[in-house]
Structure 1
Amino acid sequence: MSRLHQIDDDALVQRFFDHDYRDRGVIKWQGYYLSDHTAALKKQAKQEAIKYPAKVQQSLEDMSEILSEAFGNGKTVSIQLNNRNANGEFSADIVGKVIGYEDDAVYLAGQDPISLTDMRHIEKLN
């Protein structure tokens, strides 16, 4: 008799999930997001929405002259690289004080060496 009762309970449970239960999907998990996580996601979305327009491609001679002057006067520069992301967009400029250069590499304070051939545009900053 207990076995028959078990079959009826299984059928009842199956009927509940087949006909009565409505899964709320993703909605049920939204309460688990922490406010810090939500804020971080909003900040990331804002940063991804920023577009950096292409600046004029400068000649190697012009860029070398600007870098030499910035190095000699201890100035900070803003460099746009030729690199683009998967959407064909430029990334933010690299900003730093020129602390040295050699042949094809430029050294900015706090940055890895940058190849002159990877650069698109350089501006001196005040």
Structure 2
Amino acid sequence: MSKLWQIDDDALVQRFFDHDYQDRGVVKWQGFYLSDHTAALKKQARQEAVKHPAKTQQSLEEMSVILSDAYANGKRVSIQVNDRDLNGEFRPDLVGKVIGYKEDKIYLAGQTDVSILDMRHVERGIGM
């Protein structure tokens, strides 16, 4: 067996780390990030940077007329819900074809149901 090289002088070791050794910090770990991971982080940052401004609060009657028309004619709608993220920003609009309703719930294709009482603004699906 070979004998490992060893320094017994603790002061010498401490002086090396205090004065001579320069830690590269995070730079030394960057080679471990996969390109897929960094692409996902960049995509998430872009999505979080998008702001969804508040739209005009509509009355229940206004929203009901638009939703009824969309349901009767198979049209898509865009719904802004009175729900905000942790930063106080509105979430993206729910967009889809109105496929049904029950009591105060509206059902959009490809989306979860949403209560009309939670809605802020509804737009007809022109250009969607």
RMSD over equivalenced CA pairs, Å:
1.7
> How many residue pairs end up in the alignment?
120
Tell me which stretches of 4 or more aligned residues in structure 1 moved more than 6 Å: none
2:50 corresponds in structure 1 to 50
Percent pairwise identity? 70
Deviations 1:55-114 (A, max 9, x none): 110001111111111000001100000111122211110001000012110000111110
TM score, norm. by length of structure 2: 0.86
Give the deviation of 1:16 after TM superposition. Answer: 2.7
- Specify the alignment match of 2:100 in structure 1: 100
Residue 66 (structure 2) aligns with:
66
* CA distance, structure 2, for counterparts of residue 98 and residue 61 of structure 1: 17
Equivalent residue, structure 1, for 2:86: 86
Q: Point out where structure 1 has 5 or more consecutive residues left out of the alignment.
A: none
* Matched residue type, 1:41: L
**Rounded Cα–Cα distance in structure 1 between residues aligned with 2:72 and 2:124:** 12
1:36 is the counterpart of 2:36: yes
**2:108 is matched by which residue type in structure 1?**
L
Which residue pairs with 1:110 in the alignment?
A: 110
Q: Distance in 2 between matches of 1:62 and 1:26?
A: 54
> Given the alignment, which residue of 8, 11, 23 partners 1:10?
8
Aligned to 1:20: 20
- Match of 2:83, SS state, is coil
- Whose helix proportion is higher, 1 or 2? 1
Which piece of structure 1 moves more, 88-97 or 12-21?
A: 12-21
Structure 1 residue 14: Cα displacement? 4.1
Cα distance, 1:40 vs. partner? 1.3
Q: Please, which runs of 5 or more residues in structure 2 have no aligned partner?
A: none
